[in-house]
Amino acid sequence: MSTNAVEAHGLVKRYGPTTALAGIDLEVPTGTVMAVLGPNGAGKTTAVRILTTLTEPDEGRATVAGFDVATQGTEVRRRIGLAAQDATVDPLLTGRENLVMLGELHQLRRPAAAARAVELLDAFSLADDAGRVVSGYSGGMRRRLDLAATLVAHPEVLFLDEPTTGLDPRARSELWTVIDTLVGTGTTVMLTTQYLEEAERLADDIILVDHGRVIARGDAQKLKREVGGDQVQVVVVEAHQLADAARIVAGVTGTEPALDAGTRAVTSPIDGGVETLIEVAKGLAAARIAVEDLSLRQPTLDEVFMTLTGTDTTDEVA
Ligand SMILES: Nc1ncnc2c1ncn2[C@@H]1O[C@H](COP(=O)(O)OP(=O)(O)O)[C@@H](O)[C@H]1O
Ligand SMILES: [Mg+2]
């Protein structure tokens, strides 16, 4: 079966002189997770706002759960959940009150709304804190409540706009587990993120967006391969041995390595994996070069972007 829960063709959105979206095409097959990966200002939130009927595109068309976002907004809204980048829960209410209120907004009677709240509070490990006001929650708890809130009405398609931005690593990993569980229930998820690691961990498919355009698509491995795959990195103890280390690395990898005098690091793409790393280690030892660190690393999101777009993610102004 090849039904798509989300389909967008040629989405364009301009804000005055700014082109937030310059023609985006995307498809999210039903029951899968799609990550829209991109730096600040790439157009991620704009795409989510269009797909959730909060704003209209200037050009292009999109369907969500089979309904046109421009002409069948009510049908779309009935079938989606949105965890926006800024929290939507009321900080002055308790976790339970927030969920019950949302249930009632979705036309549930109070006992049904209360039952759904209990179910979700359990599922998101918030049962113990259900009676506390949300303003006292940690960042991670608040995000979990945000997620729970989007699920009150059993959405078919869930939009998560940067669900873990600003969380510490532990809260982030807890949230990832929660999102995994969600996906296990068959919900289609489209999430946005700035973290390649997050996209890789959660998504079946990734689209890489920059300046309102899709610049690459595929799974994380494909994106990484496009920027040259694994790299070996050597950090030498003595700065004056950097050039010697570079010669040894080049001899093994057959590629001219990059040198960074500031960090005393030599970096070179490799395709031999651990075998190559061992060759490098032997060469360094034979030349009596003291090594502070020797590692096999994958490109970072910054490097993916620099390679694919020629710009650094840190150039972007939020
Ligand atoms: N309401 C708005 N008014 C003016 N410019 C906007 C508005 N919303 C977004 N933009 C601009 O559109 C571009 C894309 O923004 P956004 O979709 O929020 O990116 P992201 O979510 O990837 O950070 C940015 O340059 C941003 O400044
Ligand atoms: Mg955003």
Contacts of 265 (CB under 8 A, 6+ apart): 233, 234, 235, 259
Q: Kindly write down the DSSP assignment for every residue of 236-304, as one continuous string.
A: ESSGGGHHHHHHHHHHHHSSPPEEETTTTEEEEE-SSTHHHHHHHHHHHHHTT--EEEEEEEPPPHHHH
Cα-to-centroid distance, 243 and ligand 1 (Å):
45
Rounded CA-CA distance 151/80 in Å is 9
Q: What sign results for the dihedral spanned by CA atoms 231, 235, 241, 243? A: positive
Taking a 5 Å cut-off on Cβ, the residues next to ion ligand 2 are 44-45
Band of pLDDT at residue 315, cut at 50, 70 and 90 = very low
Atom of ligand 1 nearest to the CA of 212: 14
For residue 234, the model assigns a pLDDT of 95
- Does ligand 1 lie within 6 Å of residue 208's CB atom? no
Q: Whose CA is nearest to atom 6 of ligand 1?
A: 15
Cα-to-centroid distance, 111 and ligand 1 (Å):
41
On the question of pLDDT at 307 being above 90, the answer is no
Which residue in 142, 179, 186 sits closest to 160, CA to CA? 179
Rounded CA-CA distance 286/300 in Å is 31
| Cα separation of the two ends of the chain | 40
The string of pLDDT tens digits covering residues 127-145 is 999 999 999 999 889 989 9
Percent composition of the chain: helix, strand, coil (DSSP 3-state, to 5): 40, 25, 30
- Does ligand 1 lie within 6 Å of residue 13's CB atom? no
On the question of pLDDT at 10 being above 90, the answer is yes
Q: Which residue has the higher pLDDT, 243 or 226?
A: 243
For residue 310, the model assigns a pLDDT of 64
Cα-to-centroid distance, 97 and ligand 1 (Å):
32
The string of pLDDT tens digits covering residues 264-288 is 999 988 877 788 889 999 999 999 9
Q: Whose CA is nearest to atom 11 of ligand 1?
A: 20
Three-class secondary structure of residue 185 per DSSP: coil
Look up the pTM and report it.
0.79
Query: By the 8 A CB rule, do 236 and 245 touch?
Result: yes
Q: Which ligand is nearest to the CA of 39?
A: 1
Which residue in 49, 108, 41 sits closest to 77, CA to CA? 49
Three-class secondary structure of residue 191 per DSSP: strand
For residue 228, the model assigns a pLDDT of 62
What are the Cα distances from residue 108, in Å, to 104, 115, 152? Answer: 5, 10, 10
Cα-to-centroid distance, 20 and ligand 1 (Å):
6
Rounded CA-CA distance 272/190 in Å is 35
Domains defined along the chain, listed by start: 4-225 (3.40.50.300), 230-297 (3.30.70.100)
The string of pLDDT tens digits covering residues 163-175 is 998 888 888 888 8
Q: Which ligand is nearest to the CA of 42?
A: 1
User: Which H/E stretch holds residue 203?
Assistant: none
CA atoms within 13 A on the CB side of 22: 12
Rounded CA-CA distance 214/212 in Å is 7
Q: How many Cβ atoms from other residues are within 10 Å of residue 123's Cβ?
A: 17
Radius of gyration of the chain (CA): 23
Query: By the 8 A CB rule, do 162 and 189 touch?
Result: no
For residue 254, the model assigns a pLDDT of 87
Query: By the 8 A CB rule, do 207 and 218 touch?
Result: no
- Does ligand 1 lie within 6 Å of residue 233's CB atom? no
Atom of ligand 1 nearest to the CA of 21: 14
Q: Which amino acid is at 55?
A: T
Cα-to-centroid distance, 198 and ligand 1 (Å):
22
- Does ligand 1 lie within 6 Å of residue 20's CB atom? yes
Mutational test site, ligand 1, from 21, 24, 45, max ligand atoms within 8 Å of CB: 45
Q: How many Cβ atoms from other residues are within 10 Å of residue 284's Cβ?
A: 22
Cα-to-centroid distance, 73 and ligand 1 (Å):
22
User: Which H/E stretch holds residue 124?
Assistant: none
